[in-house]
Structure 1
Amino acid sequence: MNPGSGRRRGRAAEAAILGAARKLDREVVLRRLDRRRSVGDQARQALSEGHAVIVAAGGDGTICGIAAALAGSDTPMGVLPLGTFNYFARSLGIPADLEAAVALLQDGVPRRIPVGRVNGRVFLNNASIGAYPAILAMRERVYDRWGRSRAAAYWSVLRALLGGRHAMMLDLDLDGERRQLRSPLVFVMLNAFQLEQLSLDGQEIIENGRFAVFIAPEKGRWGMIRSAIALATGRLSRSRDFELLGARDLTIATPAARNRVARDGERARLEGPFHFTLEQGALEVLVPGRHPGLAPASHDA
């Protein structure tokens, strides 16, 4: 459990989880994540101890960190959504209500889902280079001052873009097709539900087993701000605000040796070039048995 995730934090969330867990026919061990150690290290330790299910209680960043340790294993992951947006949990029909989400740890069915990787590092919803990592840094500062909320998240976007973002020269290889262009932002999407919520195209690309790759045109600070407002109001235009491509295997090279890369809300500086790969069926997650379009899948799916 990440005690700092979302609006319902710390002792209140812990009490709610443990209260609901008493109704299960399983023993539940709850551990608070230690900020002095990486989420992945702590998840790998739990995995080595042989628990039947490893549960990620937190926001999308916490869930991604735990999923990275479980990807490729036969141990299923449970999810208790405690974040602000909870795109991953919502995409799988996992309820926001904590008691119902805890009950799913016993009643859910295993479903194998794909994960994305950039230079080997896992992501579940999206990964990006360019302006968005700077936006995330601003968002954390806004959260620290005003608390976590969707309004604060949108405000942080405008604050970051007012500082100006320079376009990068990019060399792209999309499934063997090479392109060169300038852009301040590339977004690689894996979660079709998130696109639906943002009123964006590309859902069919993801459903057909590819990344939806969004490339922002070079349009200056105010153009980026207009695009951000259009995104927040559901009026983003494919012809005006972005180019949409699809790829199963994507490599992006920039002039800089290292760039900040965002993965499901978490930031890290990585060495380029940036290689994005898609691994089908790499992660097993407990989901509702009757969620539309999510029939149970076998281990060899």
Structure 2
Amino acid sequence: MPAAPALAPAAPLFVVLNRGSGRGSADETRQAIEAACRAAGRPLTLRVVGQGRRVPDLAREAVESALAQGGIAVAAGGDGTINAVAHAALRAGCAFGVLPQGTFNYFSRVHGIPAPIEESLQSLLTGTPQPVQAGEVNDRAFLVNASLGLYARMLEEREDFKARFGRRRWVAFGAALATLLKGFRTWTLNVSAGGGTQVLRTPTLFVGNNALQFEQVGVEEGQAVEDGGALAAIALEPLGRLAMIGLVLRAALGRLGSASKVRSFTFREIEVQAATGASSGRRRVRVATDGEVQWMDMPLRFRVSPRPLWLVKRLDAKAERA
């Protein structure tokens, strides 16, 4: 494993702040960050998303500055913001920090980073870089999950619901049901690993890197993710709309893993290609990484990243299960 990034004394923070994330006031978040850094004597550079400034560009700038000055590139926002900064930090070997502002905050919770801004700031300002596992799909990092098919479409359409009704858990659940009622297609996929290939017919392939998310839906393979060195996948067998709605309800109750129409497995690296027939000819597909949907070329290569993500957190941090 490579050495941890060296932080300068009073390591400066380079924060990418997404004003559109979370339910609180962005101005209050900014003021809290500025006040905490002032009190700790830590230099701060804030890069605010908006007015034509895209998150990936700001993330790259934050990482470049952090590397040059022995500082920390920090994401203050939801999953999309965290993913963008983490992707840049992972590739560069830069120290990475999180001030979670999202709806579910799976990544920060599994690493014991509290949601209240004052508490997450204290964790960041008193923490040290520690290696944590990231996943990759076609070299794009993901911290929580990556998916194609129905789940990716659910995430894409969920953003419209959030814009109309707010960023709450019941809104996400209602958006999922609305997507299911529209209908969905079945994919035929060749999944290759270790010299062998299996054919999956499924409306969605979900690959996770977050033990807490698997635990909450009741899939045991999440334990392999928590132990480290593996990702876990879920594929649903072909189903009708009512049966699929039933599976969504089972997931909400934490009983998805016991359903007969659910296949799950763990791996370190797989390659996914559209099989001859129903899905053949599709060279580019929509893939969601930590909730952000983008086009990717087939085949899709999912793997545990060979590089650690150097997350700044306290040594005594405990995962939040609630």
TM-score by length of 2: 0.86
In structure 2, relative to structure 1, the CA distance for the partners of 1:266 and 1:2 (3 Å cut) is same
Find the partner of 1:260 among 258, 283, 286: 286
Change (3 A) 1:260 1:46: same
Residue identity in the other structure for 2:194: D
* 2:34 aligned with 1:18: yes
Task: State the SS of the aligned residue for 2:244.
Answer: helix
Shift of 1:208: 4.4
The residue number in structure 1 matching 2:20 is 4
Q: In structure 1, what is the equivalent of residue 243 of structure 2?
A: 223
2:161 paired residue among 142, 145, 155: 142
Shifted more, 89-98 versus 104-113: the winner is 104-113
Equivalent pair of 1:76/1:285 in contact (CA under 8 Å): yes
Among candidates 297, 301, 313, match of residue 275 of structure 1: 301
Separation in structure 1 between the aligned mates of residue 78 and residue 112 of structure 2, nearest angstrom: 15
Are residue 43 (structure 1) and residue 59 (structure 2) matched? yes
4+ long deviations beyond 6 Å? none
Displacement after TM superposition at 1:10 (Å): 2.3
Change (3 A) 1:74 1:183: closer
After TM superposition, the structure 1 stretch with the greater mean CA deviation from structure 2, 48-57 or 262-271, is 48-57
Task: Find out whether 1:164 has 2:183 as its counterpart.
Answer: yes
Mapping of residues 152-191 of structure 1, within 5 Å: 152-191=171-210
Structure 1's 78 and 4: CA in aligned 2 closer, same or farther, altered over 3 A? Answer: same
Corresponding residue SS for 2:84: helix
Quote the offset at 1:137 in angstroms.
2.0
Provide the rounded CA distance (Å) in 1 between the counterparts of 2:92 and 2:200. Answer: 38
CA pair 84-35 structure 1, distance change in 2 beyond 3 A: farther
Query: Aligned partner of 2:21: which letter?
Result: S
The 8 Å contact of residues 191 and 271 in structure 2, kept in 1 or not, is answered as yes
Deviation at 1:209, TM superposition (A): 1.2
3-state SS of paired residue (1:240): coil
Of residues 267-276 and 47-56 in structure 1, the stretch that sits farther from structure 2 once superposed is 47-56
Alignment CA distance shift 1:110-1:34 (3 Å) = same
Q: Is residue 175–residue 247 contact of structure 1 (8 Å, CA) maintained in 2?
A: no
| Percent identity of equivalent pairs | 35
Superposition pairs of residues 116-127 of structure 1, within 5 angstroms: 116-127=135-146
Instruction: Indicate conservation of the 8 Å contact 1:113/1:280, yes or no.
Output: no
Which residue in 2 is equivalent to 1:213? 233
Task: State the aligned residue count.
Answer: 293
**Residue 290 (str. 1) matches residue 306 (str. 2):** no
1:129-171: CA deviations, max 9, x gaps?
1101211122111111111100101110100011111111111
The separation in 2 between residues aligned to 1:268 and 1:67, in whole angstroms, is 17
Provide the secondary structure at the position in 2 that maps to 1:84: coil
Q: Aligned equivalents of 1:244 and 1:35: distance in 2?
A: 43
One-letter code aligned to 1:269: W
Q: Secondary structure at the match of 1:30?
A: strand
**Does 1:79 pair with 2:95?**
no
TM-score, length-normalised on structure 1?
Answer: 0.92
For 1:258, the aligned partner's letter is R
Residue identity opposite 2:203 in structure 1: P
Of 46, 57, 62, the match for 2:81: 62
Check conservation: 1:72, 1:282, Cα contact below 8 A.
Answer: no
User: What is the alpha-carbon distance in structure 2 between the residues aligned to residue 137 and residue 46 of structure 1?
Assistant: 27
User: In 2, Cα distance between the equivalents of 1:265 and 1:142?
Assistant: 14
Aligned equivalents of 1:260 and 1:146: distance in 2? 25
Deviation readout 1:241-276 (Å, 9 max, x if unpaired): 411111111111122222110100110111211111
**Aligned Cα root-mean-square deviation (Å):** 1.7
Cα distance in 1 between the residues matched to 2:264 and 2:315: 33
Q: Does structure 2 retain, via aligned residues, the 8 Å contact 1:123–1:264?
A: yes
